[in-house]
A and B are shown apart, each in its own frame.
Chain A
């Protein structure tokens, strides 16, 4: 190498600083900016008779804004419901106790997410509470099939599959 001494140090310093600046710009401009290592969240549970295409780490949204993620999905071995654990951002504590949860799909083919609809109850949901009012995923293909082929004589089995099977209804 032809250069050495102070000029070498200058070149290396410029390289390192440029690289760190690039890292910073990339982190700010091209990522979602969730820098905190351990995002402070609290858990909520919700039961669904069907979760459709929902997967763990899917988003939880209120009015289209992401407020948390799906932490875990388990099947209740007794009732055969899916128990979905939500990790909600600590910023959104004090969700009303009559908040409803539903499994929706963004767009026609997009990812599944959980949409929360806060109610007006002065009581709030505490960490670990279960959301009482839920709405299962709607299977578009099943629905379309029902309207196309099953409108005249709905079979009882199909009927229960597509009308809301959860005993609670949204207020």
Chain B
């Protein structure tokens, strides 16, 4: 009973935190400068891991798809499987998971350390809203960056798998592109992928900022917050992915 009450309270706290972040998001000059810095830090600097991750995911999807479809003599349809798989599920989810590992952990650690060294309290004492100063720019940077990183993920995955399918396995170049174009619908698949990615970015940043912001003001509290940010954000992204897929693709 007590556990249930505290669970409900924690949910309410998280909801109120989300509201506070949205209310604190005013496009002031300071906010935009912070936003630029955060886009560079958590977006631009995540590019290498996203590119390499995407390329290798594309390669293994081609191997898997070729093996499965060759049984039915339909191996030239492998790019349909690649395109649909990437846009619908793989690219938004894996980009979000890589992003959580790369940027979510650093957001949580940064805020946790600010809490531990009383910087957040100090901002409050100087009548600067710490949520507006520290959390809101990171939140919006994540909402902007994760869809863009998803685009990089997909393009590197398609490039790598094109190389594998056409130049290693020996499928036909024209068929590869045409089959993918026929399978991927702009509205249902392409746009849904980026809506999903935006939602995942928001989840990643909110969870990481929340646990960092509310961590115990000790060194150990910071490490607990970092772990919790990665675990909780990853689980939430996977759960929301199912819910969004069920709503979007039925």
A residues sitting closer than 8 Å to B (CB atoms) are 1, 3-4, 8-9, 11-12, 15-16, 19-20, 22-23, 25-27, 29-35, 37, 109
Contacts and interface: CB of A to CB of B under 8 A. Distances in A.
A19 B152 CA distance: 7
Nearest to B189: A31
By DSSP majority rule, is chain B's interface helix, strand, loop, or mixed?
helix
Contacts of B44: 11-12, 15
B158 A30 contact: yes
Interface size class of B (residues with CB under 8 A): 20 to 34
B186 A15 contact: no
B49 interface: no
Interface stretch (B32-40, B120-128, B163-171, B221-229): B32-40
By DSSP majority rule, is chain A's interface helix, strand, loop, or mixed?
helix
Contacts of A9: 36
A22 B146 CA distance: 14
16 contacts: A1-B40, A4-B37, A8-B40, A15-B39, A15-B43, A15-B47, A16-B148, A19-B149, A23-B148, A27-B186, A27-B190, A30-B83, A30-B180, A30-B181, A31-B181, A109-B72
Most buried by B among A22, A23, A31: A31
Given A31-B184, A37-B187, A11 B155 contact: no
Contact of B186 (A1, A11, A20, A33): A33
Interface in B172-192: 177, 180-187, 189-190
